[in-house]
């Protein structure tokens, strides 16, 4: 931070891209809050509420709030970094210090006034977050918020926050949070979570009723899943606070800059929240989107995660990845008796999964051993040829695969074990979605462990500089074959799930364009980042389905590749590392900007020689 501020440059010319992003993020957050808490809405059509009430006080209020937050964050950052200068000549005294210095009638007025502000704020929040009212800016509507159940939850929370602040400023009592016993903090967290459940439960009746807090009543808050979610989250936060309080170091006199630190507790809460959303959200979608979750999004998430091992972790360009996907699918068809070539025995698709993994893995090893001594474009051409060979065999070898007319009907997943008989119904897409979710989550955990293990570090070394890695004793061929085999096995599993759900296989499904599509998902989301490729797969597979029913500017399905290509060009210009890059990938781009090497994950880093 510089000691002197240049006053010759206008303030608006000192704005940077980070400042615009702060304001844009605040505005987008306001828009999201407006959609999520609007008077009308549909989960299947998330933009419906915004279109239906674009000029209402509700949406405008949230947008103004978001813009104000973004501007405030920008102002604080500029003042902190010494780019802007405060206009105030004397240091500003915080409001809390002013209030603490008052006594007598002024103190009583401050206490009462802040309490009134807390109550009014609670009423306004209840008004703007309630889906059951219109004309939110009307005083009549605000005054009638006492008729709704959620208002009392907001009032209790607001008064609790007010009392805590007043206790800190005016020392109303001698009780401090750090001096409270552990059991009281846990009880307070439990009571607070129940109040928050009363406030935020979307399934309670809109009008006030004491039945909302009676456990025996069927429409009470205790019969809805959000209540127990808030209880679990509140107890986890309380336990995290108690652990920090017991191990807290003495406060330093030197103030530190605020930074977001992802603690293990935050990480666990994030995983729990993501898992809860992934489990619950599909129940509220239409049947079309439930089918899309499995066939368009779930399958491609699994394929993208597998290809990310080859391209993102090991830095190998594979354009024939669809071949392993086809091998997994046709292995399922073979052992199900759906091909002209009959197997010696028929297997349930569940039992076929290990066989498909072995077949795809062996194909990856057989392809990798003779070809992985090649690099760059030469490796891409060989893998492209392998993918075309598998496609031609599936299309022309009619005596084995059935050829272009397709296979016979394949059986679906079923369980017949120890008296338990259950068969997945193709008409129920959610059952397949949850089955897919039970496979994707362990795969993600396994690949995350691999990426942070010795194998993952070896892949990273080979990706960044294969010659240097070999000079350190890393067997490059061994680890590259391992990456090919692991990625191929994941594609084989995806092939089993596709075959069991679709029921009929056609060679035209496994064309080169599908390999390129999966590669685009990995590049768009962020090579080497498991979260990134998942985000890229979800977004790029959701977008075509959404545009199919919401045609903007004359969109047609045949124009999809044009839009995807333009989106990739924009991404490569403004964010080449992807939407959610990994830490290693982000560090490579930083080194490239400093002239220490190349950020190309598919080639070796070249050191610049000093002049």
- pLDDT tens across 259-272, in order? 556 667 677 777 88
What CA–CA distance (Å, rounded) separates 294 from 433?
5
Tokens of 218: 């069927």
pLDDT for the residue numbered 212:
63
3-state SS class at 605: coil
Angle subtended by helix axes 512-525 and 376-396, to nearest 10:
140
What's the first-to-final CA gap in the chain, in angstroms?
A: 30
Q: Could you tell me which of 370, 369, 379, 376 has the C-alpha nearest to residue 321?
A: 379
> Per-residue b/e over 312-331, b at no fewer than 16 CB within 10 Å?
bbbbbbbbbbbbbbbbbbbb
Instruction: Sketch out the chain's domains with CATH numbers.
Output: 1-87 (no CATH), 286-593 (1.10.3470)
What CA–CA distance (Å, rounded) separates 155 from 116?
11
Tokens of 143: 């005054």
pLDDT for the residue numbered 170:
62
Tokens of 1: 């931070």
Least confident interval from 82-96, 409-423, 463-477, 572-586 = 82-96
For range 22-38, the mean pLDDT = 72
Tokens of 555: 């969109």
pLDDT, greater one: 156 or 463: 463
- Residues belonging to the chain: 611
What CA–CA distance (Å, rounded) separates 158 from 175?
19
What CA–CA distance (Å, rounded) separates 259 from 241?
18
Concatenated DSSP letters for 304-352? HHHHHIIIIIS----S-THHHHHHHHHHHHHHTT-SSS--SS---HHHH
- Cβ contact 317:602 at 8 Å: yes
pLDDT for the residue numbered 215:
65
pLDDT for 325 beyond 50: yes
- Cβ contact 492:361 at 8 Å: yes
Query: Alpha carbon of 231 to those of 195, 244, 368, 413, 607: distances in Å?
Result: 10, 20, 51, 37, 54
Tokens of 70: 């973004």
How confident is residue 203, by pLDDT bands cut at 50, 70 and 90?
low
3-state SS class at 45: strand
pLDDT for the residue numbered 52:
55
3-state SS class at 440: helix
How confident is residue 50, by pLDDT bands cut at 50, 70 and 90?
very low
What CA–CA distance (Å, rounded) separates 177 from 2?
40
- Cβ contact 516:321 at 8 Å: no
How many CA atoms lie less than 13 Å away from 551 in the CB half-sphere? 6
Tokens of 250: 């003495």
What CA–CA distance (Å, rounded) separates 79 from 536?
36
- Cβ contact 408:415 at 8 Å: no
What CA–CA distance (Å, rounded) separates 208 from 147?
5
Who's near 324: CB < 8 A, 6+ residues apart?
360, 363, 364, 487, 488, 489, 491, 492, 495
pLDDT for 213 beyond 70: no
Q: Could you tell me which of 518, 327, 484, 336 has the C-alpha nearest to residue 409?
A: 336
For range 306-330, the mean pLDDT = 90
Tokens of 340: 């002209």
For range 303-327, the mean pLDDT = 91
pLDDT for 190 beyond 70: yes
Tokens of 302: 């699994």
Who's near 82: CB < 8 A, 6+ residues apart?
1, 2, 3, 5
What's the pTM value of the predicted model, to 2 decimals?
0.59
How confident is residue 51, by pLDDT bands cut at 50, 70 and 90?
low
Place of tokens 């008796």: 337
How many Å is the Cα radius of gyration of the chain? 29
pLDDT for 545 beyond 80: no
Torsion 18-21-27-30 (CA) sign: negative
- Cβ contact 340:510 at 8 Å: no
User: ∠ CA(422), CA(424), CA(428), 5° rounding?
Assistant: 130
């Amino acid at each position: 931070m510089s000691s002197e501020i240049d006053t010759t440059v206008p303030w608006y010319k000192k704005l940077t891209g980070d400042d615009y992003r702060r304001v844009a993020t605040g505005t987008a957050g306001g828009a999201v809050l407006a959609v999520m808490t609007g008077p009308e809405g549909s989960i299947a059509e998330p933009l419906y509420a915004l279109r239906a009430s674009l000029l209402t006080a509700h949406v405008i209020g949230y947008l103004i709030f978001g813009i104000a937050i973004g501007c405030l964050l920008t102002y604080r950052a500029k003042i902190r970094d010494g780019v802007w200068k405060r206009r105030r000549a004397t240091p500003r005294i915080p409001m809390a210090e002013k209030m603490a210095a008052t006594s007598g009638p002024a103190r009583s007025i401050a206490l009462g006034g802040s309490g009134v502000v807390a109550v009014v704020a609670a009423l306004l929040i209840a008004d703007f977050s309630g889906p059951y009212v219109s004309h939110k800016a009307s005083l009549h509507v605000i005054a009638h918020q006492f008729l709704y159940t959620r208002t009392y939850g907001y009032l209790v929370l607001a008064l609790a926050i007010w009392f805590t602040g007043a206790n800190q400023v005016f020392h109303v009592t001698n009780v401090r949070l750090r001096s409270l016993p552990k059991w009281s903090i846990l009880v307070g967290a439990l009571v607070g979570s129940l109040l928050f459940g009363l406030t935020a439960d979307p399934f309670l009746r809109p009008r006030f009723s004491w039945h909302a807090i009676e456990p025996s009543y069927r429409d009470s808050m205790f019969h809805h899943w959000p209540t127990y979610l808030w209880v679990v989250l509140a107890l986890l936060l309380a336990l995290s606070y108690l652990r920090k309080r017991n191990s807290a170091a003495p406060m330093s006199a030197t103030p530190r800059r605020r930074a977001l630190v992802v603690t293990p507790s935050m990480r666990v809460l994030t995983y729990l929240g993501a898992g809860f959303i992934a489990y619950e959200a599909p129940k509220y979608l239409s049947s079309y989107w439930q089918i899309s979750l499995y066939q368009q999004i779930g399958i491609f998430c699994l394929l993208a995660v597998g290809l990310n091992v080859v391209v993102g972790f090991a830095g190998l360009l594979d354009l024939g990845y669809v071949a392993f996907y086809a091998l997994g699918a046709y292995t399922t068809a073979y052992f199900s008796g759906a091909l002209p070539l009959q197997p010696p025995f028929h297997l349930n698709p569940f039992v076929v999964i290990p066989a498909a993994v072995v077949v795809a893995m062996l194909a990856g090893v057989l392809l990798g051993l003779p070809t992985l001594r090649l690099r760059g474009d030469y490796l891409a051409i060989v893998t492209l040829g392998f993918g075309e060979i598998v496609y031609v065999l599936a299309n022309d070898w009619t005596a084995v695969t059935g050829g272009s007319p397709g296979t016979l009907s394949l059986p679906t997943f079923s369980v017949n074990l120890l008296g338990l008989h259950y068969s997945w119904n193709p008409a129920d897409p959610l059952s397949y979605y949850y089955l897919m979710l039970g496979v994707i989550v362990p795969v993600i955990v396994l690949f995350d462990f691999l990426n942070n293990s010795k194998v993952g570090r070896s892949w990273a070394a080979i990706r960044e500089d294969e010659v240097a890695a070999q000079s350190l004793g890393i067997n490059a061929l061994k680890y590259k074959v391992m990456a090919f085999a692991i990625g191929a096995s994941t594609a084989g599993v995806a092939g089993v799930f596709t075959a069991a759900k679709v029921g009929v296989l056609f060679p035209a499904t496994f064309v080169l364009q599908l390999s390129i599509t999966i590669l685009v998902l990995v590049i768009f989301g962020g090579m080497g980042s498991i979260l990134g490729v998942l985000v890229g797969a979800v977004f790029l597979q959701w977008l075509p389905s959404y545009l199919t029913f919401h045609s903007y500017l004359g969109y047609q399905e045949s124009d999809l590749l044009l839009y995807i290509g333009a989106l990739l060009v924009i991404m490569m210009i403004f964010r080449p590392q992807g939407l959610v890059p990994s830490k290693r990938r982000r560090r490579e781009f930083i080194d490239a900007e400093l002239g220490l090497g190349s950020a190309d994950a598919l080639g070796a880093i070249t050191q610049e020689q000093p002049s």
